[in-house]
Amino acid sequence: MRILHTMLRVGDLDKSIAFYTEVLGMSLLRQKEYPKGEFTLAFLGYGPESENPALELTYNWGKDGYEVGTGFGHIAINVEDVYKAVEMARSKGAQVIREAGPMSAGTTIVGFLKDPDGYEIELLSKKF
């Protein structure tokens, strides 16, 4: 078994795809419209879905936003250098909500961004 994807509902599909591709370096893997259901799905990731988990963005036609909710935490993305990744994201217009630096309860370097729909993205340089 393995994780296939994580789904987020988004209010502006083009803006969200631009954030995940231009700011976070993902590739748009596939996209399909479902006219009968009035929604569009876009799958993004860092490699083929056959080998890597993907992020599914769901756009329900005519819905321009959602409440993030209190149960959702964040999406974590491993980067080489959190300081550089945060600065690069800022230069591309991303909202930085926590500057890069050591986490409060440890030494791991983290930084946080918000995507266009308010979902939090944690950047960390954890070695596995």
Active site residue ranges: 122
Contact between 40 and 31 under an 8 Å Cβ cutoff? The reply is yes
**Consecutive H or E run containing 45:** strand 39-45
Beta-carbon count within 10 A of 3 CB? 8
The Cα-based distances of 107 to 96, 100, 120, 125 in angstroms read: 20, 12, 21, 11
CA geometry: angle at 40 spanning 36 and 44, to 5°?
Answer: 150
